[in-house]
Structure 1
Amino acid sequence: MSSERTEVQVRPGVERDLEALTDIYNHYVRETSITFDTVVFTPQERRPWLLSHPEDGPHRLMVATDADTKEILGYATSSPYRAKPAYETSVETTIYLAPHAGRRGIGTLLYKALFEALAGEDVHRAYAGIAQPNEASTRLHERFGFRYVGTYREVGRKFGRYWDVAWYEKDLP
């Protein structure tokens, strides 16, 4: 490893992170099929999303920052899987990294912190939908014990074409 490697810290997300988190997410809205949102958000529009991830409970927001500059490098969330009450012990997890922050192990650090935070919660299973193709995300999820359960074919349309989403699940202790 290079001596120039940035030290990364992971912590719960807070309201002052909102602008940077919105910027990261908007990159994926504009440039990729990773999210099926098609219109960018303002920080004010994303505020309810941020507030739905408190520092405790099953719906968490973990943020990775550069230890020196405090720049936000990415985030991971656990969010409600579906709105119906019987789903309350299931979460959907996701990770978004700043465009320049990939391939540095930050996703691994974020998921490690997220699953550690969820360990004491009443959560039975985590789900992840991965728009295809996305080998890096597939490898990350499999490394954390997610197993493939099926693909929704051509479930989303973005950039003038249809995209498949592969679904993965993970048992939580």
Structure 2
Amino acid sequence: MPPEDAEVQVRPGIEGDLDALTAIYNHYVRETALTFDTAVFTPSERRPWLLSHPEDGPHRLMVAADARSQRILGYATSSPYRPKPAYGTSVETSVYVAPDAGRRGVGTLLYGALFQALAGQDVHRAYAGIAQPNEPSERLHARFGFRHVGTFREVGRKFGRYWDVAWYEKEL
């Protein structure tokens, strides 16, 4: 379901989105343990990340924008799971939604578009690591057919404490 107050367009990310995407991500860096980055980024520092997600292939960046204002509401990515060649048909997926756009279906729209874009690509599995607790993310991943395959206990330290990460996988 689209956000209540706006029609949403989902499209591939472009360089012009970089400032907004960086601001969304930096919110999660500063305020949450949902990412294990601990220092905020400048847009120029995030540019290589953006460029590593072209409009084709298995590593994608999908952006949700308000149809009227074009304000970025969130993004979803598929990125390399690990750098070794044998992992080439696996991707790690993630979704980040602007803090004021949560719980309105933006993540669902983004993941729907991402998995549609991955259809036909040489991708065998998608993985998602979800820092705990995060029931909304667990529900979103279950909605798209991910299943829990294990939990790494106290694998990351942020804000002076250790955090677990639950791992989910989806066959593509």
Q: Name 2:13's counterpart in structure 1.
A: 13
Aligned to 1:100: 100
Kindly tell me: are residues 14 and 34 of structure 1, through their superposed partners in 2, closer, same or farther at Cα, counting changes over 3 Å? same
Work out the CA distance in 2 between the residues paired with 1:4 and 1:145. Answer: 25
Gaps of 5+ in 1: none
Q: 1:4 to 1:60 in 2, by over 3 A?
A: closer
Provide the identity percentage: 81
Let me know the Cα RMSD of the aligned residues. Answer: 1.4
Per the TM alignment, residue 4 of structure 1 is displaced from its structure 2 partner at its CA by 5.7
Corresponding residue for residue 76 of structure 1: 76
Deviation at 1:161, TM superposition (A): 0.1
Q: Please report how far the alpha carbon of residue 112 of structure 1 lies from its aligned counterpart in structure 2 after TM superposition.
A: 0.3
Which residue of 1 is the match for residue 164 of structure 2? Answer: 164
Provide the TM-score with structure 2 as the length reference.
Answer: 0.98
Output the amino acid matched with 1:167: W
Which consecutive unaligned segments of at least 5 residues does structure 2 have? none
* Secondary structure at 1:33 match in 2: coil
- What one-letter code is carried by the residue in structure 2 that aligns with 1:151? T
TM-score (norm 1): 0.97
Structure 1 segments of 4 or more deviating over 3 A?
none
Post-superposition Cα deviations, 1:4-63, rounded to whole Å, max 9, x if no partner, equal 631001000000000000000000000000000000000000000000000000000000
Task: Provide the secondary structure at the position in 1 that maps to 2:22.
Answer: helix
For the pair 1:117 / 2:117, whether they are aligned, the reply is yes
Task: Quote the Cα distance in structure 2 between the aligned partners of 1:63 and 1:167.
Answer: 24
1:22-41 equivalent positions in 2, closer than 5 A: 22-41=22-41
Per-residue CA distance 1:140-171 (angstroms, 9 max, x = gap): 00000000000000000000000000000000
Residue aligning to 1:52: 52
Aligned to 1:67: 67
